[in-house]
Each structure stands twice: as C-alpha cells, then as structure tokens.
C-alpha cells in the first residue's frame, strides 16, 4: 500500500460553521495574495453531514456531477475547487468535502478512492499529521497564527498555536514542534488516546 495523498484535516463531522471556516483554513497566512496557495489546499478533506452536502449542492449549479460526486464551479485558486462526495463506506452513507486539482487528470477519482481507503480501516486511528491538522482546524483564530518577528527568521511564516504551561503561563509555539503531551492536551478527550496510524 502506498501512502495516501489525502490530508484529513478534521476528525468528526463538521457542522456548517466549521465547514465554512475550513474552506479557508489558511486565510491568516502572510503574503496571502503573493504566493501559490495550491499546495496548501490540494488534497485536504474532511467529513460533513448530509444537510451540509445538500446545502452546497443547492448553492450554485455544479461544474460537474458524476455518480457520487459533484464539483463547485468556483475555483479557490488555479484549478483547485471543492468536490463533494456521497460515499457508501462499510454500509453507511457518509459525506465529504475535498479540494481537488482539476489540472490533474483523475484527481477527484483518486481523492474518492483515498477517502474510502482511509475511512474503511477496521480500527480508528490517527497519524501525528492528522492530530496536528485537527488542532489547527479546531483552534480559534485568536489562539493560532503564523510566526512573526518574535521567531528566528528561518521560522517566520510557519504555523503557531498557543501553548499553556505551569501557573497559567502561555506562549506561542510552532505547530509542528508540539510534543506528544501538548498535542494530547489540545485534542478532545475522545481523540486523545486513539492509536497512532501507521503507514503500511
């Protein structure tokens, strides 16, 4: 098995507020209008409810509709757009949003296959990357951001989150540098003790 290119960026089913918030998880990034945002969004996916899936289908006529998927006709950046899926996984119908690069032939189909593979595992598990992405997705903007002048020059622009220490002390720390204990403290209880997902 090869490692899936998808990045599940939120664990659980996103409600409408969370869904719209995750459509642009990288809105605060520095130089937002000067860089190529495609690598940030390409391959991100998360689960939504049937209500949100239906709502998005009714927003605009889709760019295309095929079997269990449809795509929005408005592009986020370059050829990247939202693709919504209605998938039968282990006998349950589930709904997902993903960013696919339509410049890559077959991208929506590969994304569908990767989601089904990821969600069909018999034991719930999360990789370190998925834990970190969930923290980023679920943290309010006031408690996350991007490294600025307070950080060494080579770290500026990287994602940071607030971390609490003893006696109510707190400071911002690079998201990728969180320890396992800091990650566990930021996850909801039902996600803290899931086993580590290993690539086969």
According to the model, what pLDDT value does residue 84 have? 96
Locate 158 and state its tokens.
Answer: 């990287």
According to the model, what pLDDT value does residue 200 have? 37
87 Rama class: left (phi>0) / alpha (psi -120 to 50) / beta: beta
Q: In whole angstroms, what separates CA 168 from the centre of its chain?
A: 30
Q: What does the pLDDT look like over 135-164, one tens digit per residue?
A: 888 888 888 889 888 888 888 888 988 888
Locate 92 and state its tokens.
Answer: 């349950």
Per-residue confidence at 198, pLDDT binned at 50, 70, 90?
low
Q: What does the pLDDT look like over 22-31, one tens digit per residue?
A: 898 887 887 7
According to the model, what pLDDT value does residue 53 have? 94
130 Rama class: left (phi>0) / alpha (psi -120 to 50) / beta: alpha
pTM (2 d.p.): 0.82
Q: Which of 18, 14, 29, 7 shows the shortest CA–CA distance to 128?
A: 7
Q: What does the pLDDT look like over 37-76, one tens digit per residue?
A: 777 888 899 999 999 999 999 888 888 888 899 998 888 8
Q: Which of 103, 109, 116, 51 shows the shortest CA–CA distance to 83?
A: 109
Q: What is the dihedral of CA 153, 158, 159, 164, to 10 degrees?
A: -30
Q: In whole angstroms, what separates CA 95 from the centre of its chain?
A: 14
User: Does 167 have pLDDT greater than 80?
Assistant: no
Q: What does the pLDDT look like over 8-20, one tens digit per residue?
A: 898 889 999 999 9
Task: Please tell me the number of Cα atoms within 13 Å of 77 on its side-chain side.
Answer: 16
According to the model, what pLDDT value does residue 194 have? 59
Locate 57 and state its tokens.
Answer: 């289908």
Going by C-beta distance under 8 Å and a sequence separation of 6 or more, which residues neighbour residue 73?
A: 60, 61, 62, 63, 81
Q: Are 108 and 100 in contact (CB under 8 A)?
A: yes
d(CA 189, CA 195): 13
Q: What does the pLDDT look like over 89-144, one tens digit per residue?
A: 988 999 999 999 998 888 999 999 999 988 887 656 778 888 888 888 888 888 88
């Amino acid at each position: 098995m090869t490692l899936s290119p998808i990045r599940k960026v939120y664990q659980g089913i996103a409600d409408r507020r969370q869904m719209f918030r995750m459509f642009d998880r990288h809105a605060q990034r520095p130089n937002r209008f000067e860089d190529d945002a495609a690598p940030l969004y390409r391959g991100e996916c998360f689960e939504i409810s049937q209500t949100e899936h239906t709502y998005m289908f009714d927003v605009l006529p889709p760019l295309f509709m095929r079997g269990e998927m449809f795509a929005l006709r408005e592009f986020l950046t370059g050829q990247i757009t939202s693709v919504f899926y209605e998938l039968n996984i282990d006998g349950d119908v589930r709904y997902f949003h993903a960013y696919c690069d339509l410049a890559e032939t077959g991208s929506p189909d590969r994304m569908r296959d990767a989601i089904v593979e990821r969600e069909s595992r018999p034991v719930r598990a999360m990789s370190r990357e998925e834990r970190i992405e969930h923290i980023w997705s679920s943290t309010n903007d006031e408690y996350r951001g991007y490294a600025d002048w307070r950080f060494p020059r080579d770290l500026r622009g990287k994602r940071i989150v607030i971390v609490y220490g003893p006696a109510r002390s707190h400071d911002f720390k690079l998201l990728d540098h969180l320890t396992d204990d800091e990650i566990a403290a930021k996850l909801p209880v039902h996600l803290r003790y899931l086993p580590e997902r290993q690539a086969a």
